[in-house]
Structure 1
Amino acid sequence: MSQTALNLTAIAIFLMTMTALLGPMFNLSPTLPAIATFSLLGLATLDSFSLQGKGGTLVLDWFASFSPQHRDRIVRHEAGHFLVAHLLGIPVTGYALSAWEALKQKQPGQGGVSFDDTEVASQLAQGTISTQLLDRYCTIWMAGVAAETLVYDRAEGGADDRQHLHTVLSSLGFSAASVELKQRFCSLQARNLLQQNWAAYEALINAMRQRADVAECRNLIDSLTVTSSPVI
């Protein structure tokens, strides 16, 4: 069962427990907890087998949308990816800040930044990749976590980013220890880039909140960054 389905199951159990406890106080029918629970469990099952986790992600994202901090974390996380990718010369082609936007752009999760990854895909298809290009992409993948950590001291998102990095490095023959070293190194690189270009980062966050298009975001970064060319 996917993590999304597990989350839906947990919500179903929580709702069943709370409605069972509070139902008598508000004269709620005892059938309501059962209906709510079976509906959510049914959605979790359907989502696991038919929707590949997307339906559950939309539901969970809707619940999370009531938290301003959650939304702030998402935009800061994705802005970290966007800024670092642009600084390192990797073209950004789009971004999403909610599960619905991500679904429309055929991206997984509750948000994301899309890149023109033609070059890296071509090299990986041949079973090799230049050290410079690999370091750039690893730094971009870790930039969301780095951005969250700079603001909140810890990251809640980024599991998919870490998994992507681990999968790619493992496929290239990196040992587990080497993968961890690369992850830490690239996290530090991303952190440094963000700190050096903090004004551009904050401005980008505001632009992305207003759903500025990619070209506007790029121009904004170029007008404010102190690092205008790839440093890795």
Structure 2
Amino acid sequence: MLSNCTKGVTTCPTQGRSNPYIAAKPESRGVRQQRHVRMDATITSAADTQKLYAELDTACINLRRAPPSMRLTFSGPVKEAYEQLAAAGVARKWGCGVSEALRRRNVMLGELRQLGIKNPDKIAVPSVRNDAAFLFSVVGSTSLLAVVAGAVLPGDWGFFVPYLLGGVNLVVLAVGSTAPGLLAVAIDAFSQVFPDYKDRVLRHEAAHFLVGYLLGVPVGGYSVQLGREHTEFAEAKLQQRIIERTLADEEIDSLALVAVAGVAAEAREYEEVMGQTADLTDLQRLLLRSKTRLSSAAQQNLTRWAVWAAAGLLRTHGSEHAALVQAMRSGASVAECVRAIEETRGEVA
């Protein structure tokens, strides 16, 4: 081995780093055993994590298949699966939003704008975009067909068919005026022509999922299919069916955030909120179960506060929301969605 000598002091140019020409010192038996123990612990931890996620998926599947009368019973294992994930240090973000969500207070419209709500005045105002587009399409298409039929069809058919097509418009208007729910399926199907439809649904349901998860509400399933868009939560959070009891203010606050999370997500991205009717209906049902009677003004303020608080959580956990949207887009299971949330590094959106 060559050495550089200076003033009688011998130094090695490879000192402080490994020398490839010198054989490494053999590991002692104890060191080898410790290294293998650490590797085995890592493997066991990964296997246990996968097992916990599998148990969560199994519990969610059983909940989805359970009859309505047994859903409370089957929601218990879902809650236990989340608690086991949290106890194992895997679901670190589950319930972390409880300390972040502020207590109910008065919220001004300007505060909603500060959190990215594009048009606070449109909150709780039903959108008529899809309805208007549907009616315009029906009237326009039938009118065009009536003109073509009158010009092309011979004899009496040229008079009868246009009148028949005109009657379609009258039927649609009559049904829409007396029983608008009957047109809901057709309008929902027609809404898919808008390019933002799929993204709206994904953002909306991902917000329900994420805010519920952050507040410690067990998520049992979700769907983004046409006509069945929803996020399902296990009622074991309250240990009793909501319809069978009154709710304390603390419970109302948490569940209100979950109910309007989809509204907050859409309002932060779009000028109009398409999917708020069902959410506000769910919120109204919750308010009817409140122990504290709320006036109309108090209900309006609670709705505004809930949207503000939910928007704050979505802003704080913007990267998790984006990751969850992508997971739902690919049809991920509940456990895979939870993994997407936990493995995403939080960034403010």
Per the normalisation by structure 1, the TM-score is: 0.73
Shift of 1:160: 1.4
Q: Which has the higher helix share?
A: 1
CA contact (8 A) 2:218 2:234 kept: yes
Q: Partner residue of 1:168?
A: 286
Residues 162 and 192 (structure 1), Cα distance of their counterparts in 2 relative to 1, 3 Å cut: same
Whole-Å Cα distance in 1 between the matches of residues 259 and 144 of structure 2? 39
Residue deviations 1:23-68 (CA, integer Å, cap 9, x gap): 557x4766277359649948x96xx98xx94x74443333222222
Q: Partner residue of 2:102?
A: none
Whole-Å Cα distance in 1 between the matches of residues 326 and 170 of structure 2? 35
Residues 122 and 18 (structure 1), Cα distance of their counterparts in 2 relative to 1, 3 Å cut: farther
Q: Partner residue of 2:191?
A: 64
Q: Percent identity over the alignment?
A: 27
Whole-Å Cα distance in 1 between the matches of residues 321 and 252 of structure 2? 23
Which of 221, 224, 227 is residue 341 of structure 2 equivalent to?
A: 221
Determine helix, strand or coil for the equivalent of 1:128: coil
Whole-Å Cα distance in 2 between the matches of residues 184 and 67 of structure 1? 28
Query: Which one-letter code corresponds to 1:20 in the other structure?
Result: A
Residues 40 and 87 (structure 1), Cα distance of their counterparts in 2 relative to 1, 3 Å cut: farther
Which of 164, 172, 175 is residue 34 of structure 1 equivalent to?
A: 164
Query: Which one-letter code corresponds to 1:17 in the other structure?
Result: S
Whole-Å Cα distance in 1 between the matches of residues 206 and 213 of structure 2? 10
Determine helix, strand or coil for the equivalent of 1:211: coil
Whole-Å Cα distance in 2 between the matches of residues 136 and 56 of structure 1? 33
Residues 60 and 40 (structure 1), Cα distance of their counterparts in 2 relative to 1, 3 Å cut: farther
Query: Which one-letter code corresponds to 1:95 in the other structure?
Result: Y
CA contact (8 A) 1:79 1:205 kept: yes
Whole-Å Cα distance in 2 between the matches of residues 18 and 123 of structure 1? 53
Residues 35 and 152 (structure 1), Cα distance of their counterparts in 2 relative to 1, 3 Å cut: same
Residues 34 and 213 (structure 1), Cα distance of their counterparts in 2 relative to 1, 3 Å cut: farther
Whole-Å Cα distance in 1 between the matches of residues 135 and 195 of structure 2? 24
Higher relative contact order (CA 8 A, sep 6+): 2
Residues 213 and 126 (structure 1), Cα distance of their counterparts in 2 relative to 1, 3 Å cut: closer
Structure 2, gaps ≥5 residues long: 1-127
Shift of 1:128: 2.2
Number of positions where the alignment pairs a residue of Structure 1 with one of Structure 2: 207
Determine helix, strand or coil for the equivalent of 2:313: helix
CA contact (8 A) 2:222 2:232 kept: yes
Determine helix, strand or coil for the equivalent of 1:114: strand
Residues 126 and 167 (structure 1), Cα distance of their counterparts in 2 relative to 1, 3 Å cut: closer
Shift of 1:121: 7.7
Residues 95 and 124 (structure 1), Cα distance of their counterparts in 2 relative to 1, 3 Å cut: closer
Structure 1, gaps ≥5 residues long: 103-110, 228-232
Which of 140, 143, 147 is residue 17 of structure 1 equivalent to?
A: 143
Q: Give the alignment of 1:1-232 within 5 angstroms.
A: 12-21=138-147, 23=149, 27=152, 31=161, 34=164, 38=168, 41=171, 53=181, 56-100=183-227, 102=228, 111-120=229-238, 122=240, 124-172=242-290, 173-224=293-344, 226=346
Query: Which one-letter code corresponds to 2:224 in the other structure?
Result: L
Residues 139 and 146 (structure 1), Cα distance of their counterparts in 2 relative to 1, 3 Å cut: same
Shift of 1:182: 1.0
Greater Rg, structure 1 or structure 2? 2
Per the normalisation by structure 2, the TM-score is: 0.51
Determine helix, strand or coil for the equivalent of 1:68: coil
Query: Which one-letter code corresponds to 2:255 in the other structure?
Result: Y
Whole-Å Cα distance in 2 between the matches of residues 211 and 205 of structure 1? 10
Whole-Å Cα distance in 1 between the matches of residues 195 and 137 of structure 2? 20
Residues 64 and 36 (structure 1), Cα distance of their counterparts in 2 relative to 1, 3 Å cut: farther
Residues 62 and 69 (structure 1), Cα distance of their counterparts in 2 relative to 1, 3 Å cut: same
Determine helix, strand or coil for the equivalent of 1:113: strand
Query: Which one-letter code corresponds to 1:129 in the other structure?
Result: L
Whole-Å Cα distance in 2 between the matches of residues 85 and 23 of structure 1? 54
Determine helix, strand or coil for the equivalent of 2:250: helix
